[in-house]
A = this chain, B = another copy of it.
């Protein structure tokens, strides 16, 4: 019975550097472009929105970037995050696979988003920018930034996708508990919001719309910055602590490498965070991990999008990003995984996909929630709506292994807790969930 169930690490094993996959791509990733000149973006182009520290990271091809002591000290509040062996889930599935999951739900706000929110707030504080604006879908990113800005004494203004603002008030309350102000998007407070409301009076909102509003406000105030919770290179960079820890923790379980890695993918920050350190191992020939991006069928940017330059927001205010995209004006069905309802995919993830370094599958939300319930009843933890997509992908593989009689090592990135997603579980259990 006394089999190891989970591995933390000591605090001094929190990574000391972020890992930047841009240094290791066999072919370099395409640069972001200035929308006016169509030329590669220069640091000055980003200065109205971001502080110097983050711009440097956004454009960097340096492999390792040191984590400032002050950021690492805040990471200690919840990092290292645990890696669990899902022994009870394995037994429930009757699988011969060995299943592990890296759980980011024990951060103060219940998701991986704090890994980037803290350094973003930090570099803004270093630059004297004490007012931050941002967008949020389900509220994971907004609550993470609300928490981080509170630590550094900054103000935080969040535009939340209207559909989620109204239907799931708990994360708004969480943001307000940390002292942030939250506005449903599209709103009347910005020119972008007013234009969107005129064009689409009944819109449930989208991340692209909320980004437009937050960007507009930050661009109009030289003391303000915009903060983005996914998509951009510096966000993927910060999230690399997840995968770095997972590699060390798997070794403590006596595993050389996973055979499969499943992670949910919306904007791409969680997928990048857990998978890029493993992709480095693949590129350098030490591992051969099959990395699988699990995206929602309602916003299938990798599996059905086009790989081209597109805007990050609905109102075409951001730089042009080379990414798999459904089009900047795409508004996905209001599925429960609000954090995945984005039209594009992070340029670094898109490039990795284009180069064949990872693959992707699209999963409908009923299959995702069925997997989430199975996981919760075996492991106890109720996963975030987003994470359920990764679990569903892993369950397909584990069931396949049971049929084939193989014993692969499967690693799942469980990006967050679903305690604030319980109405979605309730809808699923009642049989009322749209199969989108």
- A5 CB contact (under 8 Å) in B4, B77, B376, B380: B77
Question: Could you mark each residue 106-121 of chain A with 1 if its beta carbon is under 8 Å from any beta carbon of chain B, else 0?
Answer: 1111100010000000
Q: How many angstroms between the C-alpha atoms of A272 and B186 in the bound complex?
A: 50
Distance in angstroms between the alpha carbons of A8 and B109 in the assembled complex: 20
Q: How far is the CB of A384 from chain B (nearest CB, A)?
A: 12
- For the complex, is A63 an interface residue (Cβ under 8 Å from B)? no
Residues of B within 8 A of A169 (CB): 423, 426
A178: B residues at CB distance < 8 A: 376-377
B78, A109: Cβ atoms closer than 8 Å: no
| Known contacts A2-B73, A8-B8, A173-B426: A150-B377 contact under CB 8 Å | yes
**A174 contact from B150, B170, B379, B422, Cβ within 8 A:** B422
A88 CB-CB contact with B under 8 Å: yes
The 0/1 profile, CB within 8 Å of B marked 1, for residues 5-26 of chain A is 1101001100000000000000
A147 contacts B by Cβ under 8 Å: yes
**Which residues of B are found within 8 Å of A70, using beta-carbon distances?**
1
- Chain A, residues 159-178, CB within 8 Å of chain B (1/0): the string is 00000000001100110111
Instruction: State which residues 11-61 of A face B: CB under 8 Å.
Output: 11-12
- Decide if A425 is an interface residue (CB 8 Å cutoff): yes
Q: Which of A361-412 contact B (CB under 8 A)?
A: 373, 376-377, 379-382
Interface size of A by Cβ–Cβ distance < 8 Å? 50
| B170 & A419 in contact (Cβ 8 Å cutoff) | yes
Residues of B within 8 A of A73 (CB): 1-3, 5
Residue interface bits A170-208, CB-to-B below 8 A is 1, else 0: 100110111100000000000000000000000000000
CB distance from A66 to the nearest CB of B (A): 13
Set of chain B residues within 8 Å of A328, measured between Cβ atoms? none
Q: Are A422 and B170 in contact (CB under 8 A)?
A: yes
Instruction: Kindly state whether residue A69 has any CB partner on chain B within 8 Å.
Output: yes
Report if A151 contacts B (CB, 8 A). Answer: yes
Query: Which of B174, B373, B429 touches A382 (beta carbons < 8 Å)?
Result: B174
In contact, B173 and A379 (Cβ under 8 angstroms): no
Assess whether A76 is interfacial by the CB under 8 Å rule.
yes
With CB as the reference atom, state the residue of chain B lying closest to A8. Answer: B8
A419: contacting residue among B12, B110, B114, B429, CB under 8 A: B110
Partner of A379, one of B11, B77, B88, B179: B77
- The chain B residue with its CB closest to the CB of A73 is B1
Kindly report which residue of chain B lies nearest to residue A118, judged by CB atoms: B380
Supply 13 further A-B pairs (C-beta < 8 A) apart from A174-B419, A178-B376: A1-B73, A5-B77, A6-B11, A8-B8, A77-B84, A77-B380, A88-B151, A110-B419, A150-B377, A169-B426, A177-B382, A177-B422, A420-B420
